[in-house]
Amino acid sequence: MRFDERYIEELKSRLRPSDVIGRTVKLKRQGREFVGLSPFTKEKSPSFFVNDEKGFFHDFSSGKHGDIISFLQETERLSFVEAVERLANEAGLALPAPDPQAAAQEQRRSTLFDWTELAMKWFAANLRRSVGTGTREYLKKRGLPEDQWERFGLGYAPNDREGLKTALIQKGATPGDLVEAGLLISPEGGGSPYDRFRDRLIFPILDDRGRVVSFGGRAMNPDDRAKYLNGPESPLFHKGATLYGMPEARKLLGVSKQAGLVVVEGYMDVIACQRAGIPAVAPMGTALTEEQMARLWRVTPEPILCFDGDAAGQRAAGRAVERALPLLKPGRSFRFCLLTDGRDPDDMLREAGAPALREALARTRPFVEVLFQKEAEAEPLDTPERRAGLKARLRQATEAITDRDLAEQYRRDLYERFDAVMPGRAPRTAGRPDRPGREWRRGAPPAPLGQTPEGAEALHAFNRSIEPMAAALALAALADPERLDAHLETVAETGFGDPALEGLTQTMVGHRLSGPSSLDSGALHRHLAQSGYEALLHEVEKAAAKSGAPFLAEDLPLGEARTLWSQAFEALTRIAALERALALAKSEAHRAFDSSAFTQLKAERDALRRAIKSGSLWEDTAGA
């Protein structure tokens, strides 16, 4: 029985991995995941994790990783079909009716898979023979050591019109099979088919189940008209739905500190990222299609689109924005990373190493910010007509979003940015302590993508000491990262109410979302130090010592400490919101603001400040 991809995705969407796996493994919730003892090895400390959001399990003790289907295959020794049938019955999903024609097509595909698998082995063998000497030298110059070639299935296609054809026909293939699989080219004017890939470094392209569906080839001859060549559409390979590197990326998602998938531009960029432990994929040499976006969102809700930081990269980001706009929904978007100095991920890995590459890919910008910059830079804003044109483009962009609630949120955000950059408007930076590094939103022109204050430099960007209670909140979250779970989005946005801490807290939140290791306070400290925040952490400790925060007491029960921490966090967040409202009331655009409302806002802010300073904020909790 054949199950297409849509059927499998529908099946998995109806069942939570923690429910299915929880019948075999005793699971305990830990943050956003579930943890238990490995069903594959004998262990005393739990190292088996289940993530319902990402739809997978990962066992650190054995290295096994997969979804609910592969879990049943591993633990109950079921075949793929048996596992699907078991889960379909549980989910109340009818099995597809047997289709003789579909069965014949699947058998045909199975035969073609046999030839692509043998082709990969033939290409790999040629890379290590004398004919592959030049390609081996090329890989060494690109910084890809020999022990990595097999991991990525790399090979070499000799400059021979019938080398692969002869080798596979000797194994029983027919020329028609190899043409259909995309391995040979059949001349339009008739004649004998010949090898599609000649004198090229070969990259196997795999489907989600790890089967070879096609190949990509990089020309070794610099005079070749096509630097990169992909296989054609075939019964195995649909270019617009396939992402290079997906099987390996899925494995890395279970162990990587990267919060989600990164989409890069080329084969070598994918390999560079995956060597650095970053789950990365790439489209087939074209802009992302709607099908590829849908596949990305099935794996992670907010993939990172990484482009070179040059003009071509900016254009590619713009095209991605246009294509994705109608597909956006709550919990389904993209973030953007544009690398600097014209470097791509492969360049960065070779020149600066894996930590620098991971740090660069952690500096991302939200979709709405890139959308606004794209429209704002479309033409100068030096006349009323052109400014009106920008507003019209922003309105059209929001109208392209099919989800009405999300469209309204985009409209508000984009119009706020529009007001901020218009000449003659009062800057909105005053009284906005929760927006460091975003001054262009409040009156200055947009900064180039990817440039924000980083690491310890954040402390000097604000020219003042850290607010003690904000420092205490950060220090307590460092010691107990699970405190962040109920406030992740707010923490990332406000930086605990202090601008000097925004970069630090965004990095903390990203680490907290990265997987099982995010519960380890020591790992979080090391991650922040490696990310350039060591000096800032020292300042945080000094400032927190002045706070008098009761939740820092070492002898306080954990539950009570978390309650007090949340209370302080909500108070500082409210103060930051009141500061923004007061600043807005003072601006030239709001001179008609109700004075009594202004007085009320100011009174509430001052009362909260006094409550924190005097300690009365916690009196109700202490007496409970």
| Average pLDDT of the residues in 466-475 | 88
Domain 5-91 and domain 108-237, same fold? Reply is no
Q: Classify domain 5-91 by CATH number.
A: 3.90.580.10
Has residue 463 got a pLDDT over 70?
Answer: no
Please state, in angstroms and rounded to a whole number, the distance separating the CA atoms of residues 604 and 601: 5
Helices (H) and strands (E) in the chain, counts: 26, 16
Has residue 243 got a pLDDT over 90?
Answer: yes
Q: Quick one: which of 506, 563, 571, 579 has its CA closest to 536?
A: 506
**pTM summary value:** 0.58
Between residues 267 and 354, which one has the greater pLDDT? 267
Please state, in angstroms and rounded to a whole number, the distance separating the CA atoms of residues 160 and 198: 6
Please state, in angstroms and rounded to a whole number, the distance separating the CA atoms of residues 3 and 466: 58
pLDDT category of residue 605 using cuts at 50, 70 and 90: confident
Q: Whose structure tokens read 């030239």?
A: 588
Find residue 203's DSSP bridge partners: 216
Contacts of 143 (CB under 8 A, 6+ apart): 349, 350
Residue 92 identity: G
**What is the pLDDT at residue 87?**
94
The proportion of the chain whose per-residue pLDDT surpasses 70, expressed as a percent, equals: 85
Q: What is the DSSP letter of 216?
A: E
Has residue 461 got a pLDDT over 60?
Answer: no
Check if the beta carbon of residue 351 is closer than 8 Å to that of residue 276.
no
Has residue 112 got a pLDDT over 60?
Answer: yes
**What is the pLDDT at residue 507?**
80
pLDDT category of residue 589 using cuts at 50, 70 and 90: very low
Residue 459 identity: L
| Average pLDDT of the residues in 592-612 | 74
Contacts of 87 (CB under 8 A, 6+ apart): 11, 15, 20, 68, 69, 72
Task: State pLDDT tens for residues 4-46.
Answer: 888 898 899 899 999 999 999 999 998 889 999 999 888 888 9
SS (H, E, C) 424-464: CCCCCCCCCCCCCCCHHHHCCCCCCCCCCCCCCHHHHCCCC
Between residues 309 and 60, which one has the greater pLDDT? 60
**What is the pLDDT at residue 73?**
87
Please give the mean pLDDT across all residues of the chain. 82
Could you give the residue ranges of the DSSP H alpha helices within 353-498? 354-362, 367-376, 384-400, 404-421, 457-460, 468-479, 488-494
**What is the pLDDT at residue 423?**
59
pLDDT category of residue 429 using cuts at 50, 70 and 90: very low
Q: Quick one: which of 294, 412, 303 has its CA closest to 367?
A: 303
Please state, in angstroms and rounded to a whole number, the distance separating the CA atoms of residues 399 and 396: 5
Task: State pLDDT tens for residues 176-211.
Answer: 999 999 999 999 888 899 999 999 999 999 987 788
Check if the beta carbon of residue 166 is closer than 8 Å to that of residue 173.
no
Please state, in angstroms and rounded to a whole number, the distance separating the CA atoms of residues 487 and 8: 34
Q: How does DSSP assign 520-563, residue by residue?
A: -HHHHHHHHIIIIIHHHHHHHHHHHTTT--GGG-TTS-HHHHHH
The proportion of the chain whose per-residue pLDDT surpasses 90, expressed as a percent, equals: 38
pLDDT category of residue 489 using cuts at 50, 70 and 90: low
Q: What angle in degrees, to the nearest 10, is found between the helix axes of 68-76 and 5-14?
A: 80
| Average pLDDT of the residues in 83-112 | 84
**What is the pLDDT at residue 27?**
94
**What is the pLDDT at residue 169?**
96
Could you give the residue ranges of the DSSP H alpha helices within 156-245? 163-169, 175-180
Check if the beta carbon of residue 7 is closer than 8 Å to that of residue 62.
no
**What is the pLDDT at residue 440?**
33
**What is the pLDDT at residue 35?**
94
Q: Whose structure tokens read 């119009």?
A: 415
Check if the beta carbon of residue 333 is closer than 8 Å to that of residue 296.
no
First to last CA, the chain: 62
Could you give the dihedral angle defined by the CA atoms of residues 593, 597, 599 and 602, in that order, rounded to the nearest 10 degrees? Answer: -100
Check if the beta carbon of residue 299 is closer than 8 Å to that of residue 180.
no
Please state, in angstroms and rounded to a whole number, the distance separating the CA atoms of residues 125 and 28: 47
| Average pLDDT of the residues in 318-331 | 92
Q: Whose structure tokens read 């519960």?
A: 519
**What is the pLDDT at residue 6?**
83
Question: Residue 338 in 3-state DSSP?
Answer: strand
The dihedral of CA 544, 550, 555, 560: what is its sign? negative
Domain extents in the chain = 5-91, 108-237, 457-623
Has residue 462 got a pLDDT over 80?
Answer: no
Please state, in angstroms and rounded to a whole number, the distance separating the CA atoms of residues 92 and 333: 30
Q: Quick one: which of 238, 234, 197 has its CA closest to 109?
A: 234
Please state, in angstroms and rounded to a whole number, the distance separating the CA atoms of residues 90 and 11: 10
Has residue 453 got a pLDDT over 70?
Answer: no
Check if the beta carbon of residue 275 is closer than 8 Å to that of residue 232.
no
Has residue 162 got a pLDDT over 70?
Answer: yes
| Average pLDDT of the residues in 599-604 | 79
| Average pLDDT of the residues in 118-141 | 96
Has residue 624 got a pLDDT over 80?
Answer: no
**What is the pLDDT at residue 592?**
43
**Burial of 362 per CB tally in 10 Å (0-12, 13-18, 19+):** buried
**What is the pLDDT at residue 604?**
83
Strands 28-30 and 56-59: unpaired
Check if the beta carbon of residue 147 is closer than 8 Å to that of residue 275.
no
CATH class in words for 108-237: alpha beta
**What is the pLDDT at residue 287?**
82
**What is the pLDDT at residue 457?**
42
Return the minimum-mean-pLDDT range out of 134-143, 512-521, 609-618: 512-521
Contacts of 504 (CB under 8 A, 6+ apart): 458, 474, 495, 528, 533, 536, 537, 540
| Average pLDDT of the residues in 155-168 | 96
Could you give the dihedral angle defined by the CA atoms of residues 101, 105, 108 and 113, in that order, rounded to the nearest 10 degrees? Answer: -160
Return the minimum-mean-pLDDT range out of 64-78, 262-276, 429-443: 429-443
* Displacement of CA 256 from its chain's centroid (Å): 11
Rg of the chain on CA atoms, in Å: 28
